[in-house]
Amino acid sequence: MATPEKGVQMQMGNHTRSRRGTRLRRLAAVAFALCAGLAASVAQADISVIQSLPLSGSQAVTGHALNAGARLYFDWLNLNGGIHGETVRLVARDDEQKVEQTVRNVRDMAKVDNPVALLTVVGTANVEALMREGVLAEARLPLVGPATGASSMTGDPLVFPIKASYRQEIDKMITALVTIGITRIGVLYQDDALGKEAIAGVERTLKAHGLPIAAMASYPRNTASVGPAVDKLLAADAQAIFLGATAAPAGQFVRQYRERGGGAQLLGLSSIDPGILQKIAGLDAVRGYSLALVMPNPGKSVHPVIREFNRARAAVGATDVELSFRAVEGFVAAKVLAEAIRRAGPKPTREQVQHALAGLHDYDVGGGFTVDFTDRSRPGSHYVELGVVGPNGLVIQ
């Protein structure tokens, strides 16, 4: 009898454990469902910001720096509680700076990622295509900090440029050259909207001083094929050569021009990050290169924006994020957008963010670098300073 009793007890124990196991499994399922629902709620509560920029190809160095700077700011912001308790999610796609890919990316991301804004698109032609083809207007999607100073960036109610125009840069640089007696000025230009803007700006300023452009040479967009341009500008024997170019081809031009004995003063647009220039051409070739600064100088560690950048980098452990002009530009663009999102209130819509951006008046990003979007006929900033690459590679003002 003992054996059957034990057998019954065992069966009862198994049955009890089975019922207990079922209840536990049900509780686990409920808990999982609740957690999944909570996770979905949190994901939906995220504030999404998108980027379409070159992460491969000849302009990848620019795209990666802009993305790294923006991501650094948002990571730091999220570490400190986000905006109204919501985290900011930055989603980036590679467009190789190809106009048609930028258009496809932004159209798709505007639907899939539900962003409140688009950040730091690279390329004058790329931004112009987004405006011309109605991509921004269809999605009612504001673009903050286009990585170009073209005059076409002003006037569109959805485009918010955070830096001075190329026209302002060019006027200041060319006037400075003429003032010290340099009158034979050549131009290297990219064969696209950026290059046309550079040529027009140099011509306009030189004409005001009664001077023509001494020589012009172009190279194809999205390439670094500058060899023929080097030949032409060496033959011109200009006193100075203005680079209406992007970083990679500008670096190749400087390297080849100096290697072949070119001795003209070289200077260029803010689209050319001097740090990237040094990596491509080498410090010896870049010393003395002049530039327009439209962002706080990374070489000035005491500047409030640069101090903030370094604090953010230390706080999030982003030691791989290099301090450069383009990274600072991405950081500043993200900070300006974050301020507009904060002013737009909890769970903001695109329209609310656009309205908040349009209302930014003399917003001090740090150290007197202000952004003002209340006059849409002008860029958000008029900060332009002249600098030169010094003996140690840092930019001296």
Tens digits of pLDDT across the chain (397 residues)? 333 333 323 333 444 444 444 444 444 443 443 344 433 333 345 999 999 999 999 899 999 999 999 999 999 999 999 999 999 999 999 999 999 999 999 999 999 999 999 999 999 999 999 999 999 999 999 999 999 999 999 989 999 999 999 999 999 999 999 999 999 999 999 999 899 999 999 999 999 999 999 999 999 998 989 999 999 999 998 999 999 999 999 999 999 999 999 999 999 999 899 999 999 999 999 999 999 999 999 999 999 999 999 999 999 999 899 999 999 999 999 999 999 999 999 999 999 999 999 999 999 999 999 999 998 778 899 999 999 999 999 999 8
Residue 396 lies inside a defined structural domain of this protein: no
Short-list 156, 103, 154, 150, CA closest to 126: 103
Same domain flag for 27 and 111: no
Same domain flag for 109 and 136: yes
Q: What is the reported pLDDT for 209? A: 97
Residue 271 lies inside a defined structural domain of this protein: yes
Short-list 244, 376, 305, 326, CA closest to 53: 326
Q: How many separate domains does the chain show?
A: 3
Phi, psi of 345 (to 5 degrees): 95, 175
d(CA 68, CA 75): 10
| Domain boundary pick from 293, 317, 339 | 293
Same domain flag for 157 and 304: yes
Same domain flag for 271 and 309: no
Same domain flag for 138 and 225: no
Q: What is the reported pLDDT for 48? A: 98
Residue 216 lies inside a defined structural domain of this protein: yes
Residue 392 lies inside a defined structural domain of this protein: no
Q: What is the reported pLDDT for 37? A: 40
Same domain flag for 155 and 172: no
Short-list 332, 173, 340, 333, CA closest to 265: 173
Pairing of strands 385-389, 215-219: unpaired
Q: What is the DSSP letter of 223?
A: -
| Domain boundary pick from 293, 328, 358 | 293
Q: What is the reported pLDDT for 162? A: 96
Q: What is the DSSP letter of 156?
A: -
Same domain flag for 40 and 66: no
Same domain flag for 289 and 375: no
Q: The domain spanning residue 170 has which CATH number?
A: 3.40.50.2300
Same domain flag for 58 and 159: yes
Same domain flag for 173 and 285: yes
Indicate if the alpha-carbon torsion angle 313, 319, 321, 323 is positive or negative.
Answer: positive
Q: In this structure, are residues 129 and 99 in contact, taking their beta carbons and an 8 Å threshold?
A: yes
Residue 204 lies inside a defined structural domain of this protein: yes
Q: What is the reported pLDDT for 45? A: 52
| Domain boundary pick from 227, 261, 293 | 293
Residue 56 lies inside a defined structural domain of this protein: yes
Residue 364 lies inside a defined structural domain of this protein: yes
Same domain flag for 310 and 231: no
Same domain flag for 252 and 229: yes
Domain carrying residue 224:
166-293
Residue 397 lies inside a defined structural domain of this protein: no
Q: What is the DSSP letter of 98?
A: -
